[in-house]
Amino acid sequence: MLGVTQDVSAHKRLLRQTHELENYDSLTRLPNRAFLYRWLTATTERAQEEDSVGLIIIDLDHFQRINDSLGHRRGDQLLSEVANRLKTSLHDRGLVARLGADEFAVVISDMRSPADLQAVSEGIKTALSEPFFLDKTPVMVNFSAGVSLYPSDGQLVEELVTHADAALNHAKSLGRNNIQFYARRLTEKAQERLQVATDLRQGVGRDEFVLFYQPKVRLEDGAIIGTEALMRWRHPSKGLMAPDRFIGVAEETGLIIPMGAAALRMACANAVRWNCLRHDTPLKVAVNLSPRQFQGENLVGTVKALLAESGCQPQWIELEITEGLLLDDSPLILAQLNELHDLGVTIAIDDFGTGYSALSYLTRFPIDTLKVDRSFVRDLGHKAQSAVLAKAIVALGQSLQMEVVAEGVETATQRDHLLAFSCKLAQGYMYGKPMPEDEFTALLARHAQPSLQKEHPHEEDIAG
């Protein structure tokens, strides 16, 4: 009899454990995605005609940085504490679930007005705004969230989740750390991005991406001393597409990694070809790197292999990064930049002055070139403040023994101001818009020595 009782108890424990595994997250003890779907289905079916059900999907901003800097144990500790604060903030008004990784969901039922959901959202913001102490280490957490409402945003659970996800993605696209409510245009936008992602995958396999080249010149005489390689997509049905229409999706999907490698391969090959034709100052080709490429398997190895494969001298290549890449002062980023610099390529900060406000990184990272953002150049001759800022950036770069390149130069007035500031290099429509490889080759042949300093104002290239 005792044996039978023990068998029954063991069976009950097994059933209980199986139930918990099927319905609850093992780390936070919150309901999981499967439980959430069943709960949402039951809640929407019970909702009265005058009631609404709100779904909030929450994603912790840059959570991976916590794991990278403090370790996975503290990352797990943070997730558990976030779960506890979310539950506390609701005051038993709804359900909190963990969807996976750093993503949570909150369901609020029996809402009588959008103000109810707004109040819940504010409560969540307040709950997560206080610092978390991970083994006595204070950590601040931001989050992005997307909201959908039953029945106005969907009758089915799948619709509510999809629409909340669309709103979440919109919140991220606005810079993160905000809450967005679903609107129909977000679904249309998501469908467009999905189509772009599908076309991108095909485009990578078909080598549909090409580089356009914008001249970089010496200001004193207009001689071409370099070029920036800018990606374009020869879409089979939409024609030539500028980067603003596809780079964001390429970064999200990770396709930017093979696309970036292909761009560097083309740039290296052309750097070799053009420098073999020159008998004076070497021509340097600048290639933009995405932050996502630094998260790939082996960026340094890829650059090294492509240099060797093409026979390109490292000093003929410049790699352009944005200030945002340096935002976290990451040891991993620093190590990769040092390795790249050790290969002999130079490192440039693109759009300098528009991002990271602390300038101390200029001495910690191996930066060779500052590119003055076009926003500081545009109003030279019109706004005194622009002149002060542009002059200060040029002086800063020179004091640190860096090259300084002014971007977006269109007029002789802008050029003359920059020369007065002792700026040596520039690029912009005054000297040439981004152009196909063959046109740039012809430009090099025509303008090997003479000045290009003619005033040719054009509209800004949207991706130049």
Q: Are both 172 and 218 inside the same structural domain?
A: no
Instruction: Give the domain CATH number at 57.
Output: 3.30.70.270
Q: Are strands 224-235 and 284-288 parallel, antiparallel or unpaired?
A: parallel
Could you read off the pLDDT of 102-119 as tens digits, one per residue?
999 999 987 777 778 888
Average pLDDT over residues 148-165: 91
Q: H helices within 277-323, ranges in order? A: 299-310
Q: What is the pLDDT of residue 70?
A: 85
**462 within some domain:** no
Q: Are both 278 and 374 inside the same structural domain?
A: yes
Q: Are both 156 and 204 inside the same structural domain?
A: no
pTM above 0.85, yes or no: no
* Continuous segment of H or E residues that includes residue 64: helix 63-70
Identify whether the C-beta of residue 216 lies closer than 8 Å to the C-beta of residue 271: no
Q: What is the pLDDT of residue 214?
A: 98
Q: Are both 223 and 120 inside the same structural domain?
A: no
**353 within some domain:** yes
Could you read off the pLDDT of 329-354 as tens digits, one per residue?
788 899 999 999 999 999 999 988 77
- Identify the band that residue 456 occupies on the pLDDT scale cut at 50, 70 and 90: very low
What are the tokens at 401? Answer: 């023994």
Residue 240 forms beta bridges with which residues?
234
Q: What is the pLDDT of residue 115?
A: 75
Tokens 């200001």 locate to 219
In this model, does residue 450 exceed pLDDT 70?
no
Residue 179 forms beta bridges with which residues?
145
In this model, does residue 237 exceed pLDDT 70?
yes
What are the tokens at 21? Answer: 């595994």
Q: Are both 234 and 324 inside the same structural domain?
A: yes
Average pLDDT over residues 25-46: 91
Percentage of the chain modeled with pLDDT above 70:
90
Q: What is the pLDDT of residue 216?
A: 97
What are the tokens at 282? Answer: 């070497």
What are the tokens at 439? Answer: 């046109």
What are the tokens at 177? Answer: 């750390």
**7 within some domain:** no
Backbone angles phi, psi at 25, to 5 degrees: -75, 130
Q: Are both 162 and 205 inside the same structural domain?
A: no
In this model, does residue 306 exceed pLDDT 90?
yes
- What CA–CA distance (Å, rounded) separates 60 from 267? 37
Q: Rounded to whole angstroms, what are the CA distances from 391 to 84, 323, 374? A: 51, 19, 13
Q: Are both 110 and 240 inside the same structural domain?
A: no
Identify whether the C-beta of residue 223 lies closer than 8 Å to the C-beta of residue 248: no
What are the tokens at 90? Answer: 């609701």
In this model, does residue 462 exceed pLDDT 60?
no
What are the tokens at 393? Answer: 């950036």
Enclosing domain of residue 71: 22-182
Q: What is the pLDDT of residue 426?
A: 97
- Identify the band that residue 294 occupies on the pLDDT scale cut at 50, 70 and 90: very high
Instruction: Give the domain CATH number at 402.
Output: 3.20.20.450
**169 within some domain:** yes
Q: Are both 115 and 222 inside the same structural domain?
A: no
Percentage of the chain modeled with pLDDT above 90:
62
- Identify the band that residue 50 occupies on the pLDDT scale cut at 50, 70 and 90: low
DSSP letter at 446 equals H
In this model, does residue 35 exceed pLDDT 90?
yes
Could you read off the pLDDT of 172-222 as tens digits, one per residue?
888 899 999 998 888 787 788 889 999 999 999 999 999 999 999 999 999
- What CA–CA distance (Å, rounded) separates 453 from 291? 35
Q: Are both 56 and 204 inside the same structural domain?
A: no
Average pLDDT over residues 284-291: 96
**144 within some domain:** yes
Residue 173 or 265, more confident: 265
Handedness of CA 314, 318, 324, 326 (dihedral sign): positive
**215 within some domain:** yes
Could you read off the pLDDT of 347-381 as tens digits, one per residue?
999 988 775 555 778 888 999 999 999 989 998 98
- Identify the band that residue 137 occupies on the pLDDT scale cut at 50, 70 and 90: confident
Residue 444's Cβ-count burial label (10 Å; 0-12, 13-18, 19+) is middle
Average pLDDT over residues 10-16: 57
Q: What is the pLDDT of residue 5?
A: 53
In this model, does residue 454 exceed pLDDT 70?
no
Lowest mean pLDDT among 70-74, 212-216, 272-276, 312-316: 70-74
Q: What is the pLDDT of residue 9?
A: 61
**16 within some domain:** no
User: Total structural domains in the chain?
Assistant: 2
Examine the fold and report which residue of 156, 182, 208 is the final residue of a domain before the chain moves on: 182
Q: Are both 176 and 204 inside the same structural domain?
A: no
Q: Are both 64 and 203 inside the same structural domain?
A: no
Q: Are both 227 and 139 inside the same structural domain?
A: no
**210 within some domain:** yes
